[in-house]
Amino acid sequence: MSAAVQAVQSRAQILTGQFAEIYGSEPDGVWRAPGRVNLIGEHTDYNNGFVLPFAIDRSALAAVRLRPPGRDPEVPDGVVRLASRYAPKGHGLSREEFSIHGLTPGSTEGWAAYPAGVVYALEAAGFPVPAFDLLLDSTVPVGAGLSSSHAVEVAVIVALNDLLGLELEHADMARLTQYAENRYVGAPTGIMDQSASLMGREGSALFLDCRSLAAETVPLPLAEHGLAVLVMDTRVAHSHSDGGYSARRASCEHGAAVLGADSLRDVPADADLSGLDAETRRRVRHVLGENRRVGQTAAELQAGRMDTLGQLLTASHASLRDDFEVSCAELDLAVEAALTAGALGARMTGGGFGGSAIALIRCADEEQVRTAVLAAFQGRGFREPVLFTVLPAAGAGRV
């Protein structure tokens, strides 16, 4: 048994004990869903394009117990009770509840909106959900661009899928959690994050077609080549429900419409963009180029060639910085410092406007890259970033 598996099982045991303390009896089970790092392919998912994420060895855990009507006379039927060992804006235990019968978009706020959104999506799809009790824990940093919210949603939906015998496929659960994000939480996210959390495999990345949800595992043998992915969490919080993300999506939709396409996926890579205004042209240029880079990266990995990956990552960052304009000073500094210190490639990852950057590094260079990034942030007076390496991990399931 690997150290990572042992760590998850230890967390699950602790969560089970605390669940019993809170709710009076043990849960029906504990389910795990990982966060993700997107190796390459940013802002292509909602344009029906291609992405190449991998699930990481940091995860959300959900301890769940169904509560049929009348089981607990002190709790009204239809009320879902929630508790979380990680509170995004604080420490200790956070408690919330909501009624299944009164769910409307936005009716539950904060971290509780994510499990509530899953219930809302299941109900809307014709899957009645009974009341339940839930205790959450997570090691996925909040606001770091590593998909902490989707990890929570996926942990909840895989738990309910198992407990209710819904027999939903991975693609079904990905679409339902996207519906929860889009319609209930109000964040116009694509399909990538949920898909990576659900379909990830240890030692592999996921080459995903975001239109069909056709997925192909691609080997990502970092350790075999003496490489690692260093996550550089700038601690500049971002939110997909903020206006910048929505504006980028609207700009892409406008560009596709002007070019006579249903989405930018259908626009040829060599299309004439001269009819677009300057800003829309930059946005479209990024998406078309990023789709090409995803395909090139997947092909290189399939062929066992690791030596060109860094160049593709760095080109992705330049496009996100200059054409899509979703980077920030801290992300740019992290990328620049890592490259100067010997990283093979680096780029921001996630939706942008904060969050994390990643660097592809030789394991032998890790300490010097870490030192350089920390020194660069200190020299600019920025908040100290959080640095850690990640490995490709298995997708969601019961612990």
Tokens, residue 28: 């029906």
Strand pairing category for 204-209 and 50-66 = antiparallel
What are phi and psi for residue 359, nearest 5 degrees? Answer: -130, 130
The full 3-state SS of 152-165, as one line of letters, equals HHHHHHHHHHHHHC
- Spell out a b/e string for 299-333, using b for 16 or more CB atoms within 10 Å of the CB, else e: ebbeeeebeebbebbbbbbebbbebbbbbbebbbb
Residue 328 near residue 236 (C-beta atoms within 8 A)? yes
CA 32 – CA 393 distance, rounded (Å) = 12
Residue 171 near residue 80 (C-beta atoms within 8 A)? no
Catalytic residue among 45, 133, 137, 193: 193
> What is the DSSP secondary-structure string of 244-301?
HHHHHHHHHHHHHHHTT-SSGGGS-TT---TTS-HHHHHHHHHHHHHHHHHHHHHHHH
- Active site (annotated) includes residue 172: no
Q: In what order do the strands lie in the sheet with 356-362?
A: 345-349, 356-362, 227-233, 386-390
Q: How far is CA 60 from CA 39, 149, 367, in A?
A: 20, 9, 28
Residue 361 near residue 228 (C-beta atoms within 8 A)? yes
Task: Provide the 3-class DSSP secondary structure of residue 168.
Answer: coil
Residues marked as catalytic: 193
